[in-house]
Structure 1
Amino acid sequence: MSAWNRTGPVVVEVDGSAENLRVVDYASAEALRMGAELVLVAPYSAHGSYSPMMPGYAPKPPAEAADAAVRVAVAHVRHRDGYATELVAVTEEGSRLRVLAAAARKARMLVVGRSCSRGPQRLVHSQANLTLAGRAGCPVVVVPLSWRPSLVDRKVAVGIDGTALSAEALEFAFGVAAGREGELVVVHAGLPAGRRFVEEDPDGSWISRADYVLSETLAPWTSRFPDVRVTRFLSSRPPAAALVHESGDVGLVVVGAHGGRLPIDPVARRSAAAMTCPVAIVPHHLTVAEGMRLEPARTVVGTH
């Protein structure tokens, strides 16, 4: 069982846009539910976007714009929640990755908005959030800019694959479901290599093996969170497709992802790009034993 747990603040990215206030709403609701401090962070570049080819356009200096953005966000939270939540506002010059990762290093979660871009560009932004999760070491919750509270928020889905990669994701998902007094849908998807349809497995061996993996993986967590109602979902779809399908009926989808400075995780990247609800990217922290198993491979790669 994972010993990974955090009791720090909820950190949220502030960018000054009207749509971003919905992301702040999501983060403030989570902080209020957890009894956690809410930290509003606005990264900014020292170089503004002013161009002499745009007469009459003279934006505020970046530092002033960031200060104004967090003031608006603080006023918005106070108007909504009063003084029920302890707030901290931070503006800092630097790249989004560096500033947010540093601010969230001891956080229980980092909340960011989902890019409005489409196609390949959205995958690029999803990879950036994957990298952010790896650097910060905490779950990064990506919230669609159209998000609004709804009855399905109490329902959480999590994808597992039977490996250690799922450990932190399961812990986080069970914790969120318990905090929301909701239901948890556990998704195990993807046929073994060489099989295209469930019909090719007439004796049900794949289903039996998958159900066994679910039972073994869930046993420690169901005993630790006995009040969380768990629904198992086996699917022959590719993992990302199965998770995206579930996202239409839940308030949060949780996916495990490889940690590290440059994580490569196609399932998490595609899931984060295509979800219709908020998605939590939970980085996996290598144990000492896992690191030792990987070390020979790294040595071999380094000798070529």
Structure 2
Amino acid sequence: MERPVVVGVDGSESGLEAVDWAADEAVLRGVPLRVLHASLWQRFEHCESPSPQADSGQSPERILAERILAAAQQRAARRQPDAHVTAEIQGSDPVEMLLRAGESAAMVVTGARGREPVREMLLGSVALGTAGRATCPTVVVRGGVRTFGGSGTVVLGVSARSQGTAAVSFAVEEAEARGWDLECVHALGRREGSDPEGVTARARAGESLDALALPVPARVNVRTAVLEGTPWHVLLDVARDAGLLVVGARRRQGIFGLELGLANHAALMRAPCPVAVVPEPMTA
């Protein structure tokens, strides 16, 4: 059974940009696009209710939800006429809805912000909650969406433990499907890079990056770099002109709450491009 690309919508412009990204991704993968709206989204992102003009017998919340879904479907159809799109309203909170949908999805896509103006520069609670807990890759669309089929770069943040991880595989797949370059970046702490032992650390980081390139298809142009600085500073700097930033997140069994780490959290809050958080299952 094909795993769909799932996108959560709330009626915001950020949510509609997420629809653009998700529609492109669904066509690239040849899978359906599933558009979801949670009936309780308004309580999370402070959406306004429509003016009660239509005498349809439906609640204002239901009218708003149907308008949001209709706008998202029209947006997806304009963006990708060949996409197979389904849409659904679910009676639950948005994070739980997306987490459930993600259990049988190729990925979950959300916008970075809600509808409230004060959130213009903040990460929405739905995006953060989903990225921090989902069992499938979560893409939070920031900084707009590149034209479908255009050139670009996938930036992959790696560490000494990255070889063979789900994040590496995801980044390679995205670069290959889009025809983009893949840039693998390892951030070396300033102390590691300046003391005698830092030479060894840099050499090991370079070896790890070289090893990552081995399973990459020949048609994917790979660049690697070991850069000095804190991970989140390095990733944000390299991703300035990227089309997608990919980071891994370790999920530990039996652990509740967000599992992101400082670098991932900073990427979600401040990256100039869409961010994919790819979970890596671990035991407790």
Take 2:13 and 2:47, find their aligned partners in 1: how far apart are those partners? 21
Does the 8 A contact of 2:8 with 2:35 survive in 1?
A: yes
CA 1:81 to 1:211, structure 2 compared with 1: closer, same or farther past 3 Å? closer
Does the 8 A contact of 1:113 with 1:145 survive in 2?
A: no
1:173-198 CA-to-partner distances (Å, cap 9, x unmatched) read 00000101221000000227xx16x3
CA 1:237 to 1:9, structure 2 compared with 1: closer, same or farther past 3 Å? same
- SS of the aligned residue for 1:255 comes to strand
Take 2:8 and 2:66, find their aligned partners in 1: how far apart are those partners? 13
1:13 aligns with 2:8: yes
| Paired residues for 1:47-196 under 5 Å | 58=52, 61-82=60-81, 84-115=82-113, 117=119, 122=123, 125=124, 129-133=127-131, 135-144=133-142, 146-149=144-147, 154-163=152-161, 167-191=165-189, 195=191
Aligned position for 2:22: 27
- SS of the aligned residue for 2:160 comes to coil
Does the 8 A contact of 1:152 with 1:251 survive in 2?
A: no
Aligned position for 1:45: 40
**What amino acid is aligned across from residue 85 of structure 1 in structure 2?**
A
Take 2:236 and 2:198, find their aligned partners in 1: how far apart are those partners? 29
Aligned position for 1:212: 207
Does the 8 A contact of 1:166 with 1:284 survive in 2?
A: no
Does the 8 A contact of 1:22 with 1:145 survive in 2?
A: no
Structure 2: 5+ residue runs without aligned partners?
54-58
Structure 1: 5+ residue runs without aligned partners?
1-5, 295-304
Q: How many residues align?
A: 269
Aligned position for 1:254: 246
CA 1:214 to 1:81, structure 2 compared with 1: closer, same or farther past 3 Å? closer
**What amino acid is aligned across from residue 36 of structure 1 in structure 2?**
V
1:80 to partner: Cα distance: 3.4
1:200 aligns with 2:209: no
Take 1:156 and 1:46, find their aligned partners in 2: how far apart are those partners? 31
1:204 to partner: Cα distance: 3.1
**What amino acid is aligned across from residue 142 of structure 1 in structure 2?**
V
Aligned position for 1:284: 280
> TM-score, normalised to structure 1's length?
0.78
Take 1:106 and 1:46, find their aligned partners in 2: how far apart are those partners? 21
> TM-score, normalised to structure 2's length?
0.83
CA 1:215 to 1:50, structure 2 compared with 1: closer, same or farther past 3 Å? closer
State the identity as a percent. Answer: 26
1:228 aligns with 2:226: no
Does the 8 A contact of 1:255 with 1:281 survive in 2?
A: yes
1:149 to partner: Cα distance: 2.4
- SS of the aligned residue for 1:94 comes to coil
Does the 8 A contact of 2:189 with 2:230 survive in 1?
A: yes
Take 1:79 and 1:203, find their aligned partners in 2: how far apart are those partners? 52
1:113-133 CA-to-partner distances (Å, cap 9, x unmatched) read 1127377x54xx47x545424
Report the structure number with the largest CA radius of gyration. 1
